Amino acid sequence: MLYGTRPVNHRLLFSWLVLALGSGCVTAYQPLVSLQRPLAVDPEIANFEGQKILIRCVPGEYLEPSDAQLLCRKLRTLFANQSATVEVEVPRQNASASETSFKADLIIELRARLLHHGDSVLNWLLCYASFTLIPAVTEFEFAQDITVRDSSGFMLGTDSLQGRFVRSFGFGVWALNGLLDLIVRPKEEAVTGDGHKKDFSKDFFGQVSQLAFHARMRAAVMNEFDKPQVAAPKLAPVAPTPPTAPPPRATP
């Protein structure tokens, strides 16, 4: 041991490492704008039979190209399960949409935005100073902008699905919620697993299906108005019936 240095409390250091390494994350999902709406469309039935759908996932600052590819694949499965013929497209960043030979009835374009990111350095210092008993909280608030157009580019529907993920790191919050999941909460409401992913996927894919279905119905109504009106056939004029003479009176 060097002169002037304080002895290291190995037991305390070991306890701190056990708590830090044994800590976990608890992520909560909070639906915000549009994601809270009730669903009237069942995404498990054939809502798009005979429809051709092009799904375009546009990468950006909040959506990496690899994540855009994954999102498009999941959406392709979603609409294929609803009996649609689906093609996907992931354009390069800052590039315009490319021409495709696929003649789609509906073109669904998705863009992601990060609205807010809350992460305090002081919170993390308090977390580690308390051996992670005080949780470190990180917030992500996002928006998924969706537009639906027909093959001519006419806008059929648009929406912005917004939500928030709150991630809490720490032994205290992880242990407490793990205990509640084990003895109190039903399995489908557990918060220490990947329940937040399942809840978000259910809301997100349901709202995308509903928006696309409403766009399909709007396009069908507009097509009915665009059809040429067939004139009703003219009927031949009916000749007037000549008046009949009154019957002769009977003579007594």
| DSSP letter string, 143-187 | EEEEEEE-TT--EEEEEEEEEEEEEEEEHHHHHHHHHHHHHTS-G
pLDDT, the chain, mean = 82
Angle at 18 between CA 16 and CA 22, to 5 degrees: 120
**Comparison of pLDDT for 118 and 133, the residue scoring more:** 118
Backbone angles phi, psi at 226, to 5 degrees: -80, -15
- Pairwise CA distance, residues 60 & 58, whole Å: 7
14 pLDDT more than 80? no
Q: 25-39, 81-95, 106-120, 226-240: lowest mean pLDDT where?
A: 226-240
DSSP state string for 5-26: PPPP-HHHHHHHHHHHHH-EEE
Name the nearest CA neighbour of 124 among 20, 28, 9: 20
| Owner of token pair 């084990």 | 182
Which percentage of the chain shows pLDDT scores above 90?
49
Q: Which of 87-96, 123-132, 207-216 has the lowest mean pLDDT?
A: 87-96
Q: For residues 185 and 177, give the distance between their C-alpha atoms in angstroms, rounded to a whole number.
A: 9
Q: What is the mean pLDDT of residues 222-237?
A: 66
Q: How many helices (H) and strands (E) does the chain have?
A: 5, 6
Which amino acid, one-letter code, is at 216? R
Q: Which of these, 123, 121, 117, lies nearest to 140 by C-alpha position?
A: 117
Q: Which pTM value belongs to this model?
A: 0.76
Query: What's the confidence (pLDDT) of residue 87?
Result: 95
Structural domain spans, the chain: 23-224
**Range in 9-23, 90-104, 172-186, 199-213 the model is least confident about:** 9-23
**What's the pLDDT band for 178 if we cut at 50, 70, 90?**
confident
119-128 long-range contacts (CB < 8 A, ≥24 apart) are: 127/169, 127/170, 128/20
Query: May I ask the CATH architecture of the domain 23-224?
Result: 2-Layer Sandwich (3.30)
Residue 113 clears pLDDT 80, i.e. is over it: yes
How far is Cα 208 from Cα 239, in angstroms, rounded to an integer?
62
Phi-psi region of 94 (alpha: psi -120 to 50; beta: other; left: phi over 0): left
**Cα–Cα distance, 115 to 49 (Å, whole number):** 36
Mean pLDDT of 216-245: 71
**Given pLDDT bands bounded at 50, 70 and 90, which one contains residue 4?**
very low
Two tokens, residue 196: 């937040």
76-85, 173-182, 203-212, 240-249: which has the minimum mean pLDDT?
240-249
pLDDT at 8: 44
**Strand order, beta sheet including 136-149:** 24-31, 155-170, 136-149, 106-119, 52-58, 85-89
17 strand-pairing partners: none
- Reported as a single tens digit per residue, the pLDDT across 73-110 is 999 999 999 999 999 999 986 655 556 667 899 999 99
167 vs 192: which has the higher pLDDT: 167
* Closest CA relative to residue 137, chosen from 151, 147, 125, 124: 124
| pLDDT at residue 99 in the model | 60
For residue 216, give the DSSP letter.
H
pLDDT in the model for residue 94: 61
